[in-house]
Amino acid sequence: MADPVTPKVRCANDPALYDDIEFCMGDKSLPGTRNHAYYIPRRDIVTFPRPAAEPASLDAVAVIPSTSPFALAADKKWHRIDLVPNESEPECDSQGSYGSKTFLNKITLVLPGTGKKVTGLISQLNNDDVVFLVPMANGKCRLFGSPAYQAELVEKQTFGKTATDANTTSIEVSVTDEYAAPFYEGVIETAYGEINGATDELATT
């Protein structure tokens, strides 16, 4: 008689992927983000890449490799926004019920100032569907966007009361995803060249 506990089908969540998680003394784990991020409206994306359906190891489960970059519509580019240093904190929270759990990936992007251009930006974003790539302190870009779920954006401006108060614009991004803010290692096409998503470095000019 077959063991009733043994699954009759191969699970997509392969238990063979589980492995030891080790940390070597002396290694650096840098917190925080860099002082900029990239964004693009979803309608400008032709192909929305995802991590491999059958990853070879834990390292690949939540990674979009360089061989599967975003494909953009003709003449469309990612846009860069500068951020207030040390103010933008990403979070990934598990959500949902057993069997259908996902992640809620969140980040609050804090932009300097409340001038015309940044005010115009949040006015445009307020009812749009936008995808964000945010470089961490180590240069690795994390994706806040999903082909299955629209990002929820909450924009806010703080004008301050005194000379020492903050005068900033913030964009709160939250999006449901199967993965915890996937790593994106593909190219980021911008108006000033191609950025390597694995290092946040300019590849071509």
In tens, the pLDDT along 108-166 reads 999 999 999 999 999 999 999 999 999 999 999 999 999 999 999 999 999 988 887 88
26 domain residue, yes or no: no
5 domain residue, yes or no: no
For the chain, how long is the longest CA-to-CA vector? 78
154 domain residue, yes or no: yes
- How many Å apart are CA 142 and CA 37, to the nearest integer? 10
The 10 Å Cβ neighbour count of residue 125 is 18
- How many Å apart are CA 127 and CA 146, to the nearest integer? 17
**Which structural domain range is residue 183 located in?**
31-204
Number of structural domains the chain divides into: 1
**pTM recorded for the entire structure:** 0.88
Q: What is the pLDDT of residue 2?
A: 55
16 domain residue, yes or no: no
3 domain residue, yes or no: no
